[in-house]
């Protein structure tokens, strides 16, 4: 999406919506160059180590790979934390979100005010809040080959079809190999610490350190992945509920206006701000 001469919102906000709606799933280190640091948060859905995954459909491939790390836990909900450390081990980005999985379908609830980063433009949060788009639900539906970006406060959502490459990537299988690294306790949970390598059918690999909680059906309560330029990505899952979420949690709520693209949704929200009496 390219901002036109008559764009109703500033470029950082438009870039943010473009990346949020169009990118399809969660992604990150390479995406930190973009104006929106929220992309980093969305790495939980599939792109936290995008730099390790070649190919045009890298974000969807990462989503499939990450889901494999949950093993037999195919349905759950949790709170999650996300941290990025630079090569000096200094935290550069931190965020929290709610995350749920159901048979390959993912749901993320993100509040932009919960993202902390020096890379975030100061005007981004107030701008998105004014548009009613600071709170977001992103639902990935590989079974329907679509991604929903839902903005509850704006009473609107965009439904975007996955490309052919993304749909294929979302269905990829990965060979999982583990090398034991010892035992540790994470947030009170006794864990087996493993070096885990996921290898795709074309040799693409994701290498991560995983802490599997032995008291929670080997749920991965912590993931740590090296990325480019010495950065480290850490994801932690808390308040995990190993209960299958209801399918309706992976649908757009009733009563919301549907838009066929992120640009259409953004422009509609901007028009509402300039003309509050206008109908969406």
pLDDT tens digits along 104-160: 898 989 888 888 877 666 776 787 787 777 888 888 888 998 888 888 988 999 888
Is 40:170 a contact under the CB 8 Å cutoff?
A: no
Residue 46, burial from CB neighbour count under 10 angstroms (0-12, 13-18, 19+): buried
Percent residues over pLDDT 90 in the chain: 29
49 pLDDT more than 70? no
- In sequence order, which residues have a C-beta less than 8 Å from that of residue 42 and are 6 or more positions away? 20, 23, 25, 26, 27, 28, 108, 110, 138
Dihedral over Cα of 197, 41, 22, 15: its sign: negative
The dihedrals phi and psi of 225, each to the nearest 5 degrees, come to -130, 130
- The mean per-residue pLDDT over the stretch 174-179 comes to 91
Rounded CA-CA distance 176/199 in Å is 7
Tell me: the pLDDT tens digits for 50-96?
Answer: 333 333 344 555 666 778 899 999 999 999 988 888 888 888 888 88
């Amino acid at each position: 999406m390219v901002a036109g001469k008559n764009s109703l919102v500033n470029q950082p906000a438009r870039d943010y919506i473009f990346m949020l709606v169009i990118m399809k799933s969660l992604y990150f280190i390479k995406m930190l160059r973009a104006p929106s640091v929220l992309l980093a948060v969305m790495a939980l859905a599939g792109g936290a180590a995008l730099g390790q995954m070649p190919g045009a459909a890298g974000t969807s491939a990462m989503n499939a790979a990450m889901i494999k790390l949950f093993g037999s836990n195919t349905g759950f909900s949790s709170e999650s934390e996300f941290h990025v450390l630079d090569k000096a081990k200094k935290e550069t980005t931190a965020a929290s979100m709610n995350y749920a999985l159901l048979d390959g379908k993912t749901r993320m609830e993100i509040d932009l005010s919960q993202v902390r980063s020096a890379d975030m433009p100061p005007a981004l949060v107030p701008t998105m809040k004014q548009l009613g788009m600071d709170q977001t639900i992103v639902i990935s539906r590989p079974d329907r080959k679509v991604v929903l970006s839902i903005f509850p406060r704006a009473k609107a959502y965009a439904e975007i079809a996955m490309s052919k490459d993304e749909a294929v990537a979302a269905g990829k299988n990965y060979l999982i190999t583990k090398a034991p690294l010892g035992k540790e306790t994470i947030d009170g949970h006794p864990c087996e610490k493993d070096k885990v390598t996921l290898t795709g059918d074309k040799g693409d690999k994701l290498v991560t350190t995983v802490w599997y909680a032995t008291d929670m059906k080997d749920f991965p309560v912590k993931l740590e992945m090296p990325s480019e330029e010495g950065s480290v990505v850490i994801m932690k899952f808390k308040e995990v509920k190993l209960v299958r979420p209801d399918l309706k949690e992976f649908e757009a709520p009733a009563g919301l206006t549907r838009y066929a693209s992120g640009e259409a949704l953004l422009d509609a929200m901007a028009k509402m701000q300039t003309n509050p009496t206008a109908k969406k």
